[in-house]
Amino acid sequence: MPTPSCCRTLLARTPSAEVARCTCGHIHVSLGPVTIRMDEGTLHATWHTLGDALRALSEAPPSPPEPATATGGWKQ
């Protein structure tokens, strides 16, 4: 018997991000080529964390850019 496929409902979309709810209950947050699947509670916690970061950025003086690493990869 085939397993039922999930169906996503788009909740929000901008040129850089998309958020959809899946019939299986997960929330899919897509940022460019990366999609993160999470439950609704994790989405709320992530929203608060991003809000805290945006507030800190708006309150802090601009910092000089850090020198590039030797590997040239993404900073974590």
Biggest CA pair distance of the chain: 60
* Within-domain flag for 42: yes
Confidence at residue 69, expressed as pLDDT on a 0 to 100 scale? 61
* Within-domain flag for 71: no
Confidence at residue 71, expressed as pLDDT on a 0 to 100 scale? 59
Q: What's the whole-model pTM score?
A: 0.68
Tens place of pLDDT per residue across the chain (76 aa): 666 788 999 999 999 999 999 999 999 999 999 999 999 999 999 999 999 999 999 987 777 777 766 555 555 4
Structural domain containing residue 39: 8-58
Q: In what order do the strands lie in the sheet with 8-13?
A: 8-13, 17-22, 27-31, 34-38
Q: For the chain, what is the domain count?
A: 1
Confidence at residue 37, expressed as pLDDT on a 0 to 100 scale? 96
